[in-house]
Chains A and B, each alone.
Chain A
Amino acid sequence: MDQLLFAVSTIIVGVFGCVAYFYFSNILLDRIYPASGPNAGANINKANAIRPWLFVLPALLVLGLYLVYPVFSTFLLSMRDSRGDFVGADNYIWLAGDDKFRESLGNNLLWLVIVPAASTFFGLVAAGLTDRIKWGSVAQSLIFMPMAISFVGASVIWKFIYDYRGENQGEQIGLLNAIVEAMGGTAQTWITVPFWNNIFLMIILIWIQTGFAMVILSAALKGISEETIEAAYLDGATPLQIFFKIKIPQIWGTIAVVWTTITVTVLKVFDIVFAMTNGQWGTQVLANLMYDWMFRGSPDFGRGSAIVMVIMLLVTPVMIWNISNAHKENR
């Protein structure tokens, strides 16, 4: 009951506070630079120059508080040790020499190369194939469904797919091992197989993201003007030629946006690794490594923050490129 009251009063104070701010600050501005009297013209110009800033100011402050301040605060934290004493670049020097960090960086790179490419590719194929068939929408919703599952939920599902039972521990309940055994192979502990376990974890994210890529790309495909395709037909182009030479070039911008969006998701991947292996067996990634140092055992906010800075440095360029690309698309 207390919380409800608190929430309601917060909303009321918030909404009315905002309205009051805009209303009164506007009046105040008009008082300072009245649109009448001897300098009316100059006053109107001044007021008009200030007014937008007045309205944007609250948003800027909030954005600053929630987006810019944490970056600086993290950067400052990354130069402290676990006790909070200033140590300069020590944490970064440690990072450079840490085996687990190198392993994480390598794995992240692997994720970065494979997951966006595979998701976009499968999404494109699914979009292209389901675009013009009758039950396409059914197929699309099936492919899209994993998007609705949380990463951890998906991991739990896939844990059962990769499950392994030892030789005398009864039948394999893992789907993958059941299939392998039915085909005459021997069951494997999939999530411990060096290198390949990374791929097995990536498959989960690809499974989730393909639906996303498909939906966006399918919308783009639908937006292609019919004339160009008809013209190609009349010129005797095969369906494959139409797809690769007419359609793809026209949606190239969308593909790039999908690709980069998934790239950003991949750089932040944490949940899947945490739920499946917790970075053991050589599957560590940056975000999970950060979590380990930040929260596990004796927490070391300095080292955790240093890893966060690395992730941020990696994400930022992709993000900028992604946003500018999306802008171009909208124009």
Chain B
Amino acid sequence: MKHVMYASAAALALSAGMAQADGHLKFAPGEGAFNWDSFEALKSMDLSGEKISILGPWLGPDKELIESVVHYFEDATGADVEYSGSDSFEQQIVIDTEAGSPPNIAIFPQPGLAADLASKGLLTPLPAETADWVRDNYAAGQSWVDLGTYTGADGAEALYGFFYKVDVKSLVWYVPENFEDAGYEVPQSMEELKALTDQIVADGEVPWCIGLGSGGATGWPATDWVEDMMLRINTPEDYDAWTKNDLRFDDPKVIAAIEEFGAFARNDAYVSGGAGAVATTDFRDSPQGLFASPPQCYMHRQASFIPTFFPEGTQVGVDADFFYFPAYAEKDLGKPVLGAGTVWGVTSDSKGTQAFMEFLKSPIAHEIWMAQKGFLTPHKGVNTEVYTDPTVAKMNDILLNADTFRFDGSDLMPGAIGAGAFWTGMVDYAGGKDASEVAAAIQSTWDSIK
């Protein structure tokens, strides 16, 4: 009940703010718990006439959200920022940079790809003091610096990537009402989760919705499953070794993790539509099953961004909620959390571009998106009171309280693996191929690119 009150109060505040907002700004400057100082500070820069182009992976609702942030920068500095999204970002950015017509800034969902462009001299290093800033102002700052530091074309290591918008992946989404109606409890351990899964099947229902479809990137949701499973049955050290291929892909430890995923996805009784539908169902469509009536499934394991694809008007915390994808109680591995984030890199330097990268450090750049939906940040300087729903704040807590935090493994692997062989392998596995066979095929591709 308390949640409902919070949420409606927040909604009220939100709509009131919007009504008064001047022009296209979502929240009127000077109102609310935002750090307006950092907005005012921007005005000292005059960038009128500067054009800044940004290419990123966000389309649809996410595109509107990033644009709502960008508007503040434009409003304060007079610069003209053009964001364009592409759902084949990975290919597009390679073509654009190689062809010599890159955008000013690229938003990489995968550090591996950014590292690759950096090694070819297609990225411009960030100013030297940025690394210190990240270390000081981001929670677990060093890990974000490490994730954004690559070897350049000159062989020297430098910070090329700045993380903005982070995702927590180890989440299971559910509809509290459905759980209440059926009398299910949120599981606290993997053993309980598996018991609950069987319980749901025994009740004649379907426990999971899983969809691996994602156009040209089909298969990636399965890699997240496997990574989460890696962290739950193996040590973080094994995980790190795995992403560097020091632990081979066809190692029994990895195969076991793939099979842990298969235990859920390859069981016809466990997944909505049967195992055959897993690989072809689009990941954007698959959470819809939670909200169907009667529910097509009860649980959906997906990252923190997924509410963007919930039905219109769904209130996270009320209509839908999440719990931490639990770890095995019997294994002594703590509570590992898998996450990811988008890393911003400069592909074509200019005065305006530098100013925009500087803008990303300001609390206001984070808070505008936080106050809307689906935005987590390790930035310690932001006011978390701007979160309109307490569940997202709860998510941020998961991020900050993890015993082990590891970055999405496939994004750390070389592109040919993490955005290629791993995806294909998972699609093949979901289609019924043997885990060891799939792992061996991925390993052989990895061997071939060494």
Contacts and interface: CB of A to CB of B under 8 A. Distances in A.
Interface of A: 82-83, 94, 98-100, 164-169, 189, 191-192, 274, 278-281, 291-293, 295-301
A278 B272 CA distance: 24
Interface stretch (B274-282, B360-368, B384-392): B274-282
15 contacts: A94-B448, A165-B277, A166-B273, A169-B289, A278-B216, A278-B218, A295-B91, A296-B216, A296-B415, A296-B420, A297-B416, A297-B418, A298-B116, A299-B116, A301-B98
A84 to B, nearest CB: 8
Contact of B274 (A99, A166, A295, A297): A166
Interface in B180-195: none
Interface in B226-277: 271-274, 276-277
Contacts of A293: 416
Given A83-B119, A100-B424, A297-B112, 19 more contacts: A94-B448, A164-B277, A164-B280, A166-B271, A166-B281, A167-B274, A189-B277, A192-B431, A280-B279, A280-B428, A292-B420, A295-B90, A296-B94, A296-B415, A296-B419, A297-B90, A297-B116, A298-B112, A300-B416
B206 interface: yes
Contact of B276 (A192, A279, A292): A192
Nearest to B119: A83
B367 to A, nearest CB: 33
Interface of B: 90-91, 94-95, 98, 110, 112-113, 116, 119-120, 206, 215-216, 218-219, 271-274, 276-277, 279-281, 289, 296, 414-420, 423-424, 427-428, 431, 441, 444, 448-449
Contacts of B91: 291, 295-296
A281 B429 CA distance: 10
Contacts of A192: 276, 279-280, 431
The A contact surface, by secondary structure, is loop
B94 A169 contact: no
A167 B24 CA distance: 45
Contacts of A292: 420
B264 to A, nearest CB: 15
A298 B280 contact: no
B98 A169 contact: no
Given A167-B273, A300-B416, A295 B94 contact: yes
Contacts of B416: 293, 296-298, 300
A292 to B, nearest CB: 6
Contacts of A164: 276-277, 280
B415 A298 contact: yes
The B contact surface, by secondary structure, is helix
A281 B420 contact: no
Nearest to B441: A99
Contacts of B427: 280-281
A191 B276 CA distance: 11
A169 B415 contact: no
Contacts of A274: 216
B421 to A, nearest CB: 9
A168 B273 contact: yes
Contacts of B206: 168
A98 B120 CA distance: 26
A299 B415 contact: yes
B279 A166 contact: no
Contacts of A169: 272-273, 277, 289, 296
B448 A297 contact: no
Minimum-distance CB pairs A-B, first 10: A166-B273, A297-B415, A298-B415, A297-B419, A166-B277, A295-B91, A298-B116, A280-B427, A169-B273, A299-B94
A191 B274 CA distance: 16
A164 B90 CA distance: 28
Contacts of A300: 416, 449
A98 B218 contact: no
A299 B280 contact: no
Given A169-B296, A300-B449, A189 B215 contact: no
Given A168-B206, A298-B414, A189 B276 contact: yes
Q: Which of A99, A293, A295, A301 has the most CB of B within 10 A?
A: A295
Q: Which of B272, B289, B416 has the most CB of A within 10 A?
A: B416
Contacts of A278: 215-216, 218
Contacts of A298: 112-113, 116, 414-416, 419
A189 B218 contact: no
B118 to A, nearest CB: 11
B272 A168 contact: yes
Given A83-B119, A164-B277, A280-B424, A295 B95 contact: yes
Given A168-B272, A280-B424, A296 B90 contact: yes
A110 to B, nearest CB: 19
B296 A168 contact: yes
Contacts of B279: 189, 192, 280-281
A296 B219 CA distance: 14
Nearest to B275: A166
A297 B414 contact: yes
A166 B441 CA distance: 29
Nearest to A297: B415
A49 B448 CA distance: 55
Given A192-B280, A274-B216, A280-B427, A82 B449 contact: yes
Nearest to B219: A280
Contacts of A191: 280
Contacts of A279: 424
B179 to A, nearest CB: 19
Contact of A299 (B98, B277, B296, B441): B98
Nearest to A84: B120
Contact of A98 (B277, B419, B448): B448
Q: Which of A192, A295, A297 has the most CB of B within 10 A?
A: A297
B448 to A, nearest CB: 6
Q: Which of A168, A278, A292 has the most CB of B within 10 A?
A: A168
A299 B418 CA distance: 12
A192 B449 CA distance: 28
Nearest to B97: A299
Contacts of B113: 297-298
Nearest to A191: B280
Contacts of A82: 449
B222 to A, nearest CB: 12
Nearest to A279: B424
Given A99-B441, A164-B277, A189-B276, A297 B420 contact: yes
A46 to B, nearest CB: 45
